[in-house]
């Protein structure tokens, strides 16, 4: 029960973060001063907004994509915990959800690590504006790998369970 609550709290939390980023993006088109009011204290994108709306929109879209992928991953974890029965843990639904979580975490790593680092390099080269690279995202690659391995163990467990049911 506690893990279900924590998964739901993570999903709602990242959904709120994603929504606040999206609201900041839309509001900054109406009033450019809103670009100063991001939820992250150390990430002030107002300088980028003054330099060019395209640069600002790209940076915000990358942040929104990372938050949205994290929220979706937490919602899938919550759905997994709802479907998981400890009496019969090896089911195709559980294996598919574990695999989906692994792919979502891989997506978080790709967007946060590769694209964000590439964008920071491109931005600093083109405009001279330096953004903090505070999130390497490497932990998401590790988590994606571990969860994918666990999903493969579940897949093998399902195969063994089916073989045992066929042999009487």
DSSP states of 106-139 as a string? HHHHIIIIIIHHHHHHHHHHHH----------HH
Q: Is 90 exceeded by the pLDDT of residue 135?
A: no
In the chain, the N- to C-terminal Cα span, in Å, equals 37
Report the candidate in 63, 51, 80 with the shortest Cα–Cα distance to residue 25: 63
Residue 11 pLDDT: 93
**0.85 surpassed by pTM:** no
Residue 24 pLDDT: 85
Rg (CA), the chain: 20
Q: Is 80 exceeded by the pLDDT of residue 168?
A: no
Three-class secondary structure of residue 31 per DSSP: coil
pLDDT digits (tens, 9 = 90+) for 14-28: 999 899 889 888 888
């Amino acid at each position: 029960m506690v893990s279900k609550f924590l998964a739901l709290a993570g999903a709602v939390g990242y959904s709120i973060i994603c929504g606040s980023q999206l609201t900041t993006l839309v509001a900054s088109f109406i009033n450019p001063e809103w670009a100063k009011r991001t939820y992250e204290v150390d990430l002030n994108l107002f300088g980028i907004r003054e330099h060019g709306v395209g640069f600002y929109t790209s940076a915000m879209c990358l942040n929104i994509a990372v938050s949205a992928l994290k929220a979706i991953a937490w919602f899938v974890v919550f759905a997994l915990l709802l479907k998981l029965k400890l009496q019969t843990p090896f089911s195709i639904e559980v294996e598919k959800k574990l695999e989906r979580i692994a792919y979502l975490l891989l997506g978080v790593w790709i967007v946060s690590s590769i694209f964000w680092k590439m964008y920071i390099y491109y931005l600093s080269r083109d405009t001279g504006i330096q953004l903090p690279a505070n999130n390497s995202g490497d932990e998401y690659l590790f988590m994606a790998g571990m969860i994918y391995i666990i999903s493969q163990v579940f897949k093998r467990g399902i195969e063994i369970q089916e073989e045992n049911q066929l042999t009487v």
